[in-house]
Every structure is written in C-alpha cells, then in structure tokens.
Chains A and B, each alone.
Chain A
C-alpha cells in the first residue's frame, strides 16, 4: 500500500525558533491532515487541506498542500514550550478511502 515519509523524526529547538516538518507520499493524495498528539492523549486535528497548492494557517501554524499532491509541510512560528508533542501528517487518496499516517515528528522545545 501507499507509504508516507515524515521528516524529521524528532527536533529539539529553543523557544522562539521556527519549525518546519514535511511529509511525502508515493501516491497522489486528495486530502492532507496535520495532527498533534500530547503525551497520554489522542491526536488532535490542527489543519486540514483539501486542494493542491492550498496554504492554510491556524494561529502560529501554517500548512501547505503541495502542488504535486504528493507532499505537504507544516510550519510552526515562534515556538513555545506547549508546542511540545508529536506531530502527525495523514493523507487520503480518494474521497472515501481511509487515512494513511506518517510515523510522526517529535518536537521538544527548550525554554
């Protein structure tokens, strides 16, 4: 089946720095989703993207749906300690197929 490559696997940054992570797929996706998971909790949806080239923001978070429809990135600006967690990308190939998840990017923020 299709695979999602998410990178980097982990990041350790200073508070105030900007962060960028991305996902690439071997297949064309119609939807890209970005989730954040705090320790001991389920993933929480951050941003949903439905159109190639779409750029969407949610506060300090910005995500883009790649033009080729095989990639997406997530940027976090001016990171703060509560940004700590695991960030997952997820993609969907057709309107009714299930989601494929990346392995996650663990983000650690030093105050």
Chain B
C-alpha cells in the first residue's frame, strides 16, 4: 500500500451537495494536513492535526469541516460549497515536529 492515499481522486458536486474527502496514511505518522491548491497560487494550508488534535485552522470557512478519528485517517467534510472552492485538495502527513511532509495524490474537486 502506498504511503498516503486519497479518495475520491475526482469529485464534481453542486453547491447544495454534501460530500466528504478521505485521506489515509500508512507511514506511522502522527500529524496530518489538508491543503488547497489553486492555479497560480502557492499551496494553502487549511488544517493541521497532531495526535488527532486540531492544532491549526487557517481561517478556513465553516463550509469545510475536518475530522480526524485516529492518527491514520483524516476527512474533509464539504457542504454548500462555492464555485471558487474548486481546486486540488491535498492531504499530507509527517512525524510530529519534523515537518518533512509526504503528500497524497489529491482530490480534484469541481463545484458547479
């Protein structure tokens, strides 16, 4: 099994839908991250979880709701999104404190 997996790889949703993105890491890491990658912008950190506790929330709108049930799994729950939320959503993990982050393949999200 590869290090960090994400499902689905592609998602198209309407503005009234509710969907969830899933991330799983098989590296024994303690920290997990959600990033948003839009065209021509640097990666934007959204959320950080360390030992299942949320340690960072970079002013992300409440229509994005993270969940970390254990140190291997991370979810991003989506509801009432806007078209400008269309982007590649990347999950990453690392050993707590060393910050060498390993990324998943991403979920390409399109909001209609």
Contacts and interface: CB of A to CB of B under 8 A. Distances in A.
Interface residues of A, number: 24
Interface of B: 4, 6, 33, 40-43, 45, 48, 56, 90-92, 97-106, 108
Contact of B106 (A41, A90, A98): A41
A92 B108 contact: no
A81 B33 CA distance: 31
A106 B6 CA distance: 24
B103 A42 contact: yes
7 contacts: A31-B99, A31-B100, A33-B100, A42-B6, A90-B101, A99-B101, A100-B42
Interface stretch (A12-20, A43-51, A59-67, A69-77): A43-51
A48 B90 contact: no
Contacts of A103: 40-42
Contacts of A97: 99
A42 B99 contact: no
Interface string A83-100: 000001010100111111
A40 B98 CA distance: 27
A99 B103 CA distance: 13
